[in-house]
Amino acid sequence: VVSQHMAVGAGYYMRRVGEFQAMAADNAGIKLAILSIGEIESFFSILQMNKAGITALSCECDQTIGSIDFDLALVHLIEKVALQKCKQITLDELRTKKTQIKILKTANTMKKSLTMNAKAQGTLECVGDNQVDIPILVTLEDFNAVIAEKKLLSKIRSMIEKGMNNIDVKDIESIECIGGASRVKGIQELVAQMFTLEKITKRTNPDEAVGFGLGWVGAMRSTKYKIPYNIGMTDIITNLSAPISLHVFNEKNEQVLAKPLDMYKNQEAFPKSKKVTLRFAPGKYRAQLREGEIVHEETTFELHKKNFEQFTDKEFAKAAGVDFEDEMISTKVKVIADNDGYFKFAGLTRTDFELIFDDKKTMIPNENLQQLTEEREVEIKKREEEYAQKMAEFEPKQKEYEELLQKQEEEKKLPENKDKKDWPKLEAPEKPVKPINPPEPPKEVEKIEKVPRIANMSQEVNVKFSSGFYNVQQKAQELKQFELKCQSVDQKQLQYDMAHNAIETVIYNARDAVEYGLKKHITEEEKQRILQICEEAHEFVQQIEGKHQTELLKKKTEELAKEFQQFYQRKQSHADLEDFLYRAKTEFEALKQRFTGAENDLVKKEIDLKLSEYLEKAQNADLLKIVSGFEDFDQVKKDFEARLKNNFDEAKKKEDELKKAEEKKKEEEKKKEASSKNDTPKEKDKSEEKK
């Protein structure tokens, strides 16, 4: 669950993710304004974006203005033109349900046409009892006059002014307008007047901005797929009809708190957790988080009496602050507004005085020192005797082994045994290891005593959660009625409407893309060709008679989509190229930082050269062609990683060998020094005489 403005913000952020992630940690980033004109409601929001992620600064919603209001304004205008054109038609005939549906469809088509043209034409077919066809011509000037009369733009202006929340227009880097109705000329002129034309950007598709952003939000929150960025999202609460308040009831269903505690209000940031400390008497309780009469979550819990029986020394307990007359229990309640905007209980803890015994360690004389010393001496003597016995058995075996070895060496020197290679391998007897004396017994031993103390300890309270109190039977009945209503829909008419809307969407998106999204990726000749195809398709749609031609509409839609696909693929290939360059730079830099050391300097230079090669190739890429030739990146990265790792491992291996050689040299020097200290004076004199 995510709000519309945060979904749009996520999509916008990912289109500029390389720029935002490259910002310094202390960089405040940019402020983005979003104006959304929905079907029945609109909103204006300001978001701050930087390296840390997205933060909502303000949001203002108006449920009295939407694209349907502009459609109804056109309906009013079409009725007026129809009455002037055809005198035999009455207003009552125009207000019939069937005719109103026709007028609404015509109004919607004209509204789209007036976003790019000064005039819009249409035809009301088979109107009234006489089944008259009425041609309709509406000008942009007349449309703007009706909008002004109904004060639709004034409502949008008021919503924007409230949503600015004292933020200066100069601090806004850009504003994105989303929703199909945001293309209405009057709205575009209003935004340009309030923010200047230069601040209006079109980085997001007005029809797909929310869906595109939701896809990225899903990727960010997915447990299976991880995007390589840590993007935080801090939203603000905007849709509360009343503050979220904490209510607590006892077993008699009486309110325990003198007044419910307000925990969350509109315009507060979330996710956010809050804690409140309350005092309760022992017993069973029921706590609720409520929005007016709506229960968001309920929990039940039980508080047991304080354990005063543990304090046998009353004076000691009183000195530590224990009040035996106070039976009230201090309880900390934690609530949270989570990432999805849900309000929940996060836990309950109670605080009580507890008697704790700490370990106090002291050193005392060892009473068994003499006995342990005697046992040690006996053990030493036993080990020496066993060693002497093993040496007596070893010496004859060693002598015999040396004789055999000498004999074999002499035989090897004989001429007749010169070419003989299969000599038996002689195994030397295992020399006994000199025993190590057991350690001396300690003169002092450790004694542990238990020392009491009283401390405030917190412990979790077991709670049982349940959802809000909703009338399940009433909801089930409503669901059943809705299901019957869905089943009664004319499936053929539904398929026709879907096919009709699909082809109009393809035509509309193609015209819009020519002016904005595909502008850099098509030639003037291709632009004129696309507009001509759209015009022909529009005329084709106008000639469709009814639902018996649904398949014809579907076939035409597929043909148009196939015709335009090459241009969208061209644009997508360049968008993929931007993502690839950012990925290549990030992953190559990560490789260089992962494997440090001078031994890899040459490979790192090759990496920089390869990245420069990619950048040069990207800069030379023709905007009017599909970009390719970067498919080898994963293999190139894999080869570089293998070479870096190999060099790193070899350098580490050499370093380890040098360390071992130095340690061995130090050990030999220590042995020589120790042997020189153990020489007797006589041996020294003899050595002097020899010299």
650 and 607 in one domain?
yes
Q: Which residue has tokens 């058995």?
A: 393
Cα angle, residue 395 at apex, residues 393 and 400 outer, rounded to 5°: 105
Q: Is residue 448 domain-resident?
A: no
**DSSP character string of 74-102:** HHHHHHHHHHHH-TT--HHHHTSHHHHHH
Type of residue at 689: E
In a domain? residue 217 = yes
Q: Are residues 556 and 674 in the same domain?
A: yes
482 occurs within a structural domain:
no
Examine the fold and report which residue of 201, 236, 271 is the final residue of a domain before the chain moves on: 236
Residues 227, 350, single domain; the answer is: no
What is residue 681's predicted lDDT score, i.e. its pLDDT? 54
**Residues linked to residue 295 through DSSP beta bridges, in sequence order:** 290
pLDDT mean by block of 10 residues, the chain; 691 residues: 90 91 91 93 94 92 91 90 84 84 87 86 82 86 90 94 92 92 90 91 90 91 78 86 92 90 89 92 92 90 90 88 90 89 89 89 90 91 90 90 86 80 83 88 89 88 62 70 73 81 86 79 86 88 82 89 85 81 82 78 82 80 77 82 84 86 84 69 60 67
Please check whether residues 466 and 510 belong to one and the same domain.
Answer: no
Q: Of the candidates 225, 155, 217, 141, which has an alpha carbon nearest to the alpha carbon of residue 185?
A: 141
- Among 236, 271, 299, where does a domain finish? 236
CA angle in degrees (0–180, nearest 5) for 282-283-286:
125
Q: For residue 446, tell me if it sits in a domain.
A: no
Cα–Cα distance measured from residue 321 to residue 311, given in angstroms and rounded to the nearest whole number: 12
Q: What is the pLDDT of residue 677?
A: 65
Q: CA-to-CA distance for 283 and 301, rounded, in angstroms?
A: 9
State the pLDDT at residue 84: 86
- Nearest Cα neighbor of 203 from 213, 214, 193 is 213
Shared domain for 258 and 386, answered yes or no, is no
- Ranges of beta strands (E only) in 267-423 are 269-270, 272-280, 283-291, 294-303, 329-337, 343-365
* Position 663 in a domain: yes
520 and 653 share one domain: yes
Last residue of a domain, one of 236, 269, 290: 236
The predicted structure's pLDDT at residue 587: 83
DSSP, collapsed to helix, strand or coil, labels residue 142 as: helix
CB 266 within 8 A of CB 337: no
Helix axes 550-594, 601-619, angle to 10 degrees: 150
Residue 158 near residue 92 (C-beta atoms within 8 A): no
Task: Give the number of C-alpha atoms closer than 13 A to the C-alpha of residue 37, restricted to the C-beta side.
Answer: 24
Answer yes or no: do 157 and 38 share one domain: yes
Q: What are the pLDDT digits (tens) for 199-218?
A: 998 888 888 999 999 999 98
CB atoms within 10 A of CB 159: 19
Residues 228 and 289 in one domain: no
Q: Is 121 left (phi over 0), alpha (psi -120 to 50) or beta?
A: beta
User: Does residue 299 sit within a domain?
Assistant: yes
List the strands of the sheet with 42-50, edge to edge.
200-201, 172-178, 30-37, 42-50, 53-62, 232-236, 269-270
**Count of domains for the chain:** 4
With respect to residue 373, please indicate whether it lies within any of the assigned structural domains: yes
Q: How is residue 103 written in tokens?
A: 């007028």
Q: Taking the model in full, what pTM does it have?
A: 0.53
> Rounded CA gap, 156 and 177, in Å?
12
156 three-state secondary structure:
helix
Tell me the residue range of the domain where 336 lies.
244-363+457-470
CATH number at residue 118: 3.30.420.40
CA distance 209 to 11: 7
- The CA-atom distances, in angstroms, between 501 and each of 74, 179, 442, 516 are 19, 16, 93, 22
Residues 377 and 347 in one domain: no
Q: Is residue 684 part of a domain?
A: yes
Q: What does 545-581 look like in DSSP terms, one character per residue?
A: -SGGGHHHHHHHHHHHHHHHHHHHHHHHHHHHHHHHH
Give the CA distances from residue 552 to residues 8, 95, 540, 576, in Å, rounded to whole numbers and listed in that order. 36, 31, 10, 35
Residues 372, 351 share a domain: no
Same domain, yes or no, for 463 and 513? no
CA distance linking residue 312 with residue 317, whole number of Å: 8
pLDDT (tens digit, 9 = 90+) per residue, 369-382? 899 999 999 999 99
State whether 122 and 134 are in the same domain.
yes
Whose tokens are 């801090």? That residue is 234
- Measured CA to CA, the distance from residue 271 to residue 102 in angstroms comes to 46
Helix (H, G, I), strand (E, B) or coil at 299: strand
Strand pairing partners for 353?
456
